[in-house]
Amino acid sequence: MKCPFCKGPDTQVVDTRENEEGDSIRRRRRCLSCEKRFTTYETVELRMPQVVKQNGMRTEFDTEKLSTSFNRALHKRPVPTELVDAAIDHVTQRVFALGEREIGSRQIGEMVMKELLKLDKVAYIRFASVYKSFQDVKDFSEAVEAVRKAPAKYKSRAS
């Protein structure tokens, strides 16, 4: 670490302490050139992957957009807020756990659809109609049939 005073390249760690929460480390350092002391802090930097849209544009992963998607699909549906928040957290954790630098928006959309299918069948159909760009009634009826045939573990929790 360079000295902030003289820009010397050689510094020595004098003292190291973990903060109370255990999520950062405080280090007291001494510059070997000018002998001045300074403090640095180490924290974990978690980076979510970039989202690659269908048109090739890249944007930052945004949990607010994810929340908006869930809330639009679940508008006026009897699903407790705690379950919605848990679903959003689950999608966010899955995206992070992939460990990739980039993720396609389609992949995120599929994760959202799985969570919505668990939460509420109507919300799933609403989201699928926009996500899959339904063109006619046939598309809706196919989605409804898929929901009917869904395994028991994915049946609506709100029913």
The residues that bridge with 49 in the sheet, in sequence order, are none
Can you tell me which residue has the tokens 């000295």? 3
144 contacts 137 by C-beta, under 8 angstroms: no
pLDDT tens sequence across 55-112:
999 999 999 999 999 999 999 999 999 999 999 999 999 999 998 999 999 999 999 9
pLDDT tens sequence across 30-62:
999 999 999 999 988 778 899 999 899 999 999
109 contacts 130 by C-beta, under 8 angstroms: no
DSSP 49: P
Distance CA 96, CA 135 (A): 33
List Cβ neighbours of 47 (8 Å cut-off, separation of 6 or more): none
Prediction pTM value: 0.64
- Taking the alpha carbons at both ends of the chain, their separation in whole angstroms is 58
Domain coordinates of the chain in residue numbers? 11-43, 50-141
User: Which has the minimum average pLDDT: 3-7, 24-28, 120-124?
Assistant: 120-124
